[in-house]
Chain A
Amino acid sequence: MGVCNHTKLYVCALHPSRGIFTGVGGLAFRASQSLQAEPPKKKKKTDPKQEQLRQHRYLKRLKKLQYKMGKAELKPVEEMRVDRALLDESRKRDLPEIPPEEQERRALLLKRWSKFKFAQHVAETRLIEGAIKAQEKALNELRTESEELYQQAIKTDNSLFPLEGVGPTHTPAIDGFDKKVIDGEYVDVTRQYR
């Protein structure tokens, strides 16, 4: 049981975290929760006509703005939904059923694939961890040599980003290929919405 100095009330041990006094104190004074709240604000009496007028003016202003901007063009909501034309029965392929041996082969291949991919992931993680360790070791060595050099080394390099790179393609670039002579003109038909 603790004593709250300025109020000289006992703070009940049953509610140590809330510090709410709900028991009978020395003064037989009960403090309820509502006493801790602020008294509610007085409501201003508004003239309903005035209120209506105000609303009316506001809506008129908005409509004027809308009129100035022009009619809204409805953007299509592109959902993950198949195009209606493709659901037609005439589009279905007529293929024979997959034999059970083929199904078996596919299931086993999937298992082998997941094993292969997991092994690849583990190996990659190990390599990356090794690289991180090597860098940490280098930084520790640098620190033992000179604190100043270490501080310079751990500064962020602002010239690094934005970093651009061209990814690997299936075949290398053709020597002497003129990029300006592109065979295949096209017209960009992407719809632009406001």
Chain B
Amino acid sequence: MAAHYRFPYLRILALTQSAYKMKGSLCFKNNLVFPKHQICRFCSSSDTETRPWQLMSGVCVERYPVISQTHNSIEEEFKEMCNMVEFESSVLSDHEIQVRKDRDRMKKRKEGELEEEAGDDGEVMTALDLEDIALEKLKQFQAAPRETSADQENDTKSINRKLADKLVLLVKEKIGDKTLWILPQGYRDTGESMREAAERVLNACTIENRMKVKFVGNAPVGVYKYKYPEDIQHKIGAQGAKIFFFKAKLMQGDFMQRPDVGISEYKWVTREELDSHLIKGYSDTIKSFILPVSL
């Protein structure tokens, strides 16, 4: 590759040609080189002008965490230290004072110093008794478990799985000749704004009134572009599609799939599980606007 060139830019040209080994990665026009991953107005075929992009709206429905995250080791250590320091710098509470008094009274009674007072028949409730009663009552209370049955069965359709994490709704749809896991998406109708399109898309997927979401703002949070293959481009007359994502928070209910829509399956997945379901470029785009619960 160390060929001599009269003009240094031609050498750079040759190097870029070898570097970009992708098929059709460069286009030449008027002795200028453009890498094809940039929008290139000059790289159109001679019979058509630049084709437009189709607009689609995608919806990212998130189920926010229901329980708090577990502490990692340093957080546990620090918590314990904080509790110790707080205990050391505290003073005795009324309850502890009462316990102390009761203890002294018991001791005195045993040693026979204290006389039996009238009406005092030894059945007085001490502070420790009260404490024991309170603890008994606490034991009777059963809190709901942090790990649910959905966790144990690994039921990915359930909304009660991974309560400490954020869950995102994914659907399986047929795109071209492949079935892929994607966020629910649909084309924008004429006269709609992108957010209205997103709301319509979501309502089309699910049975009415089963899921209550709150869309967060009118602006899209991310965009994903994909170019159609050449034959589809000719057929549809568009270069590709731009999907604008909108975020929605799940307030109530669950996703109930409509049987007539082109969705074959759905899942509620965590941010870590996204990579295993989605294609790389799509996954990277989505992860930029889905923030993790803990780092």
Interface residues of A (CB under 8 A from B): 86, 90-93, 95, 98, 106, 109, 112-113, 116, 120, 123-124, 127-128, 130-131, 133-135, 137-139, 141-142, 145-146, 149, 152-157, 160, 163, 165, 168-175
- Alpha-carbon gap, A90 to B101, bound state (A): 12
Q: Which residues of B contact A90 (CB under 8 A)?
A: 92, 97
For A134, give its contact among B68, B217, B221 (CB under 8 Å).
B221
Tell me if B163 counts as interface (CB < 8 A to partner A).
yes
The answer to whether B217 and A160 have CB atoms under 8 Å apart is: yes
24 A-B pairs whose Cβ atoms sit less than 8 Å apart in the complex: A86-B91, A90-B97, A92-B92, A109-B77, A109-B78, A124-B295, A128-B291, A133-B288, A137-B223, A145-B242, A149-B55, A152-B194, A153-B195, A154-B219, A157-B218, A168-B65, A168-B164, A170-B146, A171-B143, A171-B144, A172-B145, A172-B163, A174-B143, A175-B144
B19 at the interface (CB under 8 A from A): no
**With A134-B289, A145-B242, A153-B193 known to touch, is A174 a contact of B144 (CB < 8 Å)?**
yes
CB distance from B166 to the nearest CB of A (A): 11
Give me 10 other A-B pairs in contact (C-beta within 8 A), A138-B220, A157-B218 excluded: A93-B91, A135-B222, A135-B289, A138-B222, A138-B245, A139-B220, A163-B214, A168-B64, A168-B65, A169-B67
Q: Are A139 and B225 in contact (CB under 8 A)?
A: no
The chain B residue with its CB closest to the CB of A115 is B74
Across-interface contacts of B288 in A (CB, < 8 A): 130-131, 133-134
Contacts of B132 in A (CB 8 A): none
Closest to A119 in B: B295
Is B217 within 8 A of A131, CB to CB?
Answer: no
With A135-B222, A138-B221 known as contacts, the answer to whether A91 contacts B97 (CB < 8 A) is: yes
* B81 interfacial by beta-carbon distance below 8 Å: yes
CB distance from A144 to the nearest CB of B (A): 9
Q: Across the two chains, which residue of chain B brings its CB closest to A177?
A: B144
| A-contact 0/1 string along B86-98, CB 8 Å cutoff | 0010111000010
B68 near A141 with CB under 8 A, answer no
A153 touches B144 (CB 8 A): no
Q: What is the bound-complex CA distance between A155 and B66, given in angstroms?
A: 31
| B220 adjacent to A135 (CB under 8 Å) | yes
In the assembled complex, which residues on chain B have CB atoms less than 8 Å from the CB atom of A173?
A: 66, 144
The docked-state distance in angstroms from the alpha carbon of A146 to that of B292 is: 32
Chain B residues within an 8 Å CB radius of A152: 193-195, 218
- Residues facing A in B49-105 (CB within 8 A) are 53, 55, 64-68, 74, 77-78, 81, 85, 88, 90-92, 97
B195, A142: Cβ atoms closer than 8 Å = no
CA–CA, A70 and B215, complex, Å: 53
With A91-B97, A142-B223, A145-B55 known to touch, is A172 a contact of B218 (CB < 8 Å)?
A: no
In the complex, chain B residues whose CB is within 8 Å of the CB of A106: 81, 85
Chain B residue at smallest Cβ distance from A127: B291
Query: Could you tell me the distance in whole angstroms from the C-beta of A3 to the nearest C-beta in chain B?
Result: 57
CB neighbours (8 Å) of B88 from chain A are: 93, 95, 98
B80 and chain A: residue at smallest CB distance: A109
Interface residues of B in 221-271 (CB under 8 A from A): 221-223, 225, 242, 244-245, 249
In contact, A134 and B285 (Cβ under 8 angstroms): yes
In this complex, what residue of A is CB-closest to B94? A85
Question: Is there a chain A Cβ closer than 8 Å to B148's Cβ?
Answer: yes
Q: Nearest B residue to A146 by beta-carbon distance?
A: B55
Q: Which residues of A contact B78 (CB under 8 A)?
A: 109, 113
Please determine whether B223 and A170 come into contact, CB atoms closer than 8 angstroms: no
Chain A residues, CB < 8 A from B295: 120, 123-124, 127
Q: Do residues A157 and B221 form an inter-chain contact, with CB atoms below 8 A?
A: no
A142, B194: Cβ atoms closer than 8 Å: yes
* Chain B neighbourhood of A160, CB < 8 A: 214, 216-217
- Residue of B at shortest CB range from A91? B91
Interface residue ranges of B170-228 to A (CB < 8 Å): 193-195, 214-223, 225
Contact A127 B292 (CB under 8 A): yes
Closest to A82 in B: B91
Question: A172 — which chain B residues lie within 8 A by C-beta?
Answer: 66-67, 144-146, 148, 160, 163
Q: How far is the CB of A91 from chain B (nearest CB, A)?
A: 4
Q: Judging by beta carbons under 8 Å apart, are B223 and A141 in contact?
A: yes
Tell me whether B74 and A113 are in contact (CB under 8 A). yes
Question: Cβ of B194 and Cβ of A149 under 8 Å apart?
Answer: yes
